Amino acid sequence: MARSTLFVLALLSAAIAASANPLWEDEDVADTEQQMDEPDIDQGNEIDPDDVNLNAHNDELKLSGLLENPELFEGDIENVNASDLEGRNAINDPTRKWNKLIVPYVISHQYSSSSRQTILQGMQEYHKRTCIKFVAKTNERDYIFIRPGTGCSSSVGRQGGRQDVSLGNGCVIPGIVVHELMHALGFWHEQSRPDRDKYVSINWSNIPSRLRHNFMKFSHGEVDTLRLPYDIGSVMHYGAYDFAINRRQETVKSKVKSSSMGQRRGFSKLDVQKVNKLYRCNMGKRDFMDD
């Protein structure tokens, strides 16, 4: 009888502990989402590229690892399989674009204030340079939920309902925030473009065979280049050592002179042009990269 009582007490204790520490993965737990007032975006400081030094080889390898989840397509893209991509490219499908240029968002309460500041910095870059506005969710059905999941990941384009953007350990730096939000807006990785072989070569022998699908190219019918040039300096471009077997040998080698391939500081000029062109932003003649 005593053992039975102890067992019941143990179960009750476990249940109480679980209720006191709700899992953020459970969408139905009220404590998982913290709606923030829209003015909070203005609390984020502007991104200073000098504050993010990512040129060193070791830093580039660290960033590569963050975006190399073998369970996700191209390392950080959710809700897509390599075998069923045709017709699913968000930037070729107007139903995957966000309505009225507005992206409602919720940020998990589990982030520290400094991490929240960095996330807001990333959103602020869109506000400064594009017509996209991230707005704190009220009663909208479609929205992004930014949470500290496993690694860095996002779906491509609007999915409908809640869609998660994961910014886990090591992912909360300005350029990765911009990168994952650009996925959410509807952009694939730059080196997936059909014209990529003019600008980079792929070292297939240094890529595990089970991960080579991450380096496939899309056809012109699957991806819209928006008639803009290939951008080796895009925040959406793979780095030189992504998915490498031997981390001292490149998997992606640039054919053009560039020191910015795989950078995660933030937008390139062409990144800004692409967002504005996809969403038909009327930004006038002002160069929003010179602010």
pLDDT tens across 117-171, in order?
A: 999 999 999 999 999 999 999 999 999 999 999 889 999 999 999 999 999 998 9
Average pLDDT over the chain, rounded to an integer: 78
- Look at residue 194 and tell me if it is in a domain: no
Lowest mean pLDDT among 42-51, 99-108, 213-222, 259-268: 42-51
- Look at residue 291 and tell me if it is in a domain: no
Rounded Cα distance between 28 and 162, Å, is 12
Query: Which residue range forms the structural domain that includes residue 109?
Result: 68-185
More confident residue, 11 or 256: 256
pLDDT tens string 244-255: 999 999 999 999
Instruction: Tell me whether residue 179 is annotated as binding.
Output: yes
More confident residue, 92 or 141: 141
CA-based Rg of the chain, rounded to a whole angstrom? 21
- Look at residue 123 and tell me if it is in a domain: yes
- Look at residue 42 and tell me if it is in a domain: no
Q: What is the largest CA-CA distance in the chain?
A: 81
- Look at residue 254 and tell me if it is in a domain: no
Short-list 157, 179, 148, CA closest to 76: 179
> What band does 71 get if pLDDT is binned at 50, 70 and 90?
low
Which is the catalytic residue, given 33, 78, 125, 180?
180
Residue 74 a catalytic site member: no
- Look at residue 95 and tell me if it is in a domain: yes
Rounded Cα distance between 233 and 168, Å, is 24
How many structural domains is the chain composed of?
1
- Look at residue 98 and tell me if it is in a domain: yes
The contacts of residue 286 (CB under 8 Å, 6+ apart) are none
The contacts of residue 200 (CB under 8 Å, 6+ apart) are 191, 232, 252, 253, 254, 255, 261
3-state secondary structure of 178: helix
Domain of 135, CATH number, reads: 3.40.390.10
- Look at residue 82 and tell me if it is in a domain: yes
> What band does 286 get if pLDDT is binned at 50, 70 and 90?
low
Q: Which of 3-7, 23-27, 150-154, 179-183 has the highest mean pLDDT?
A: 179-183
Contact between residue 32 and residue 22 where contact means Cβ atoms under 8 Å apart: yes
Rounded Cα distance between 21 and 4, Å, is 26
Find the distance separating the first CA and the last CA of the chain, reported in whole Å. Answer: 74
Rounded Cα distance between 165 and 75, Å, is 14
Contact between residue 157 and residue 91 where contact means Cβ atoms under 8 Å apart: yes
241 pLDDT exceeds 60? Answer: yes
